[in-house]
Amino acid sequence: TKPVDVVALTERMDSLLQRDQNKGYRVLIVDDDVVTSRYYSEVLRNAGMTVFLLNDPTQILSVMTDFRPELLLLDIYMPLCSGVELSRMIRQDNSYVDVPIVFLSSENDMANQLDAVRAGADDFIMKPVSQEYLVSSLSTRAERYRSLRSLIMRDGLTGLYNHTAIKEHLASEILQARRKQAPLALAMIDLDYFKRVNDQYGHATGDQVLRTLARILRQRLRRSDIVGRYGGEEFAIVFPDTDAATARRVLDQVRTAFAKVSQHAENEEFFVTFSAGVADLENTIDPDALFDIADSAMYASKQAGRNRITL
């Protein structure tokens, strides 16, 4: 074996770390002071973060839905709504109970700092603050949030979004679609005769088939399409900016490709298909109802003989 080139390795690690530095953490700054907030947002941008600067705190909820911040940097004193009130309001929303909230303020009254912490803030940074301190303390929190989130929102077997995550995404995508007057489609997928796969080739082989389908979905769909494992051998896909007919066409190519994949168990080769149902906002704007409609369409595909997609 060749000796390890430590210098080259270190250099490669350095450049990797550099490139991944602050991995574009999405930071939402809410501050009524245009000048200072612009300064802080530049500091964070220069450190590689993605910053949304909001000077009007009353817009916060819709900005959060669209921008999905991984950290909030709040000012305390704002004319329309104080940072403490904002923090309290954000913490009431189930989707944001764990997003890090950091106050940046020249407030040095202990009682007010305490108020902020009681309202759910994770940290309180006093102005003026050094760039290095601000950047490191925010990126540490954003990073921890991102990795916790991915543990909570991802399915362990396939790496796709899990049931909770896909439902959350659907709800927020529906809101966005309505605001943009854009279409949106939802597909439900269920593998055909999957019990037989497990019975004939074993559970581990069944799991391998699930991972293969997950990979093909990721490869063939757009990055903006949101793919999740809804349950055991059921998958759900949210197609933003797409109507049901288009989603069906795209998914039909996936169906054809997947049916051709040669699956393996020991020395045996076999093939697996799936059935799917597609619904869009023409039918309903309620997330649960949309799931039900897509599910009924999927069931119709089963009834009609499987390996097909119903609209």
Which member of 67, 77, 270, 299 binds Mg ion (CB under 5 A)? Answer: 77
Q: Of residues 70, 168, 173, 233, which has the active-site annotation? A: 233
Buried b (16+ CB within 10 A) or exposed e, 98-124: ebbbbbbbebeeeebbebbbebbbbbb
List the beta bridge partners of residue 123: 102
Q: For Mg ion, how many residues bind (rule: CB under 5 A)? A: 7
Question: How many CB atoms are closer than 10 A to CB 168?
Answer: 18
Q: Is 163 in the site for ligand GH3 (CB under 6 A)?
A: no
Among 12, 180, 195, 249, binds ligand GH3 (CB under 6 A): 195
Where on the phi/psi map is residue 228: left (φ > 0), alpha (ψ -120 to 50), or beta? beta
Known active-site residue 173: no
Site string for Mg ion, 29-58 (x = CB under 5 A): ---xx-------------------------
How far lies 199's CA from each of 195, 264, 265, in Å?
A: 6, 14, 12
Q: Which parts of 241-270 interact with ligand GH3 (CB under 6 A)?
A: none
Residue number, 12 or 195, with CB nearest to ligand GH3: 195
Residue 206 sits in the site that holds ligand GH3 (CB under 6 A): yes
First to last CA, the chain: 58
Report how far apart, in Å, the C-alpha atoms of 43 and of each of 8, 46, 65, 143 are: 31, 5, 24, 18
Stretch that binds ligand GH3, among 46-54, 129-137, 146-154, 189-197 (CB under 6 A): 189-197
Sites of contact with Mg ion (CB under 5 A): 32-33, 75, 77, 190-191, 194
> Which positions are annotated as active-site residues?
233
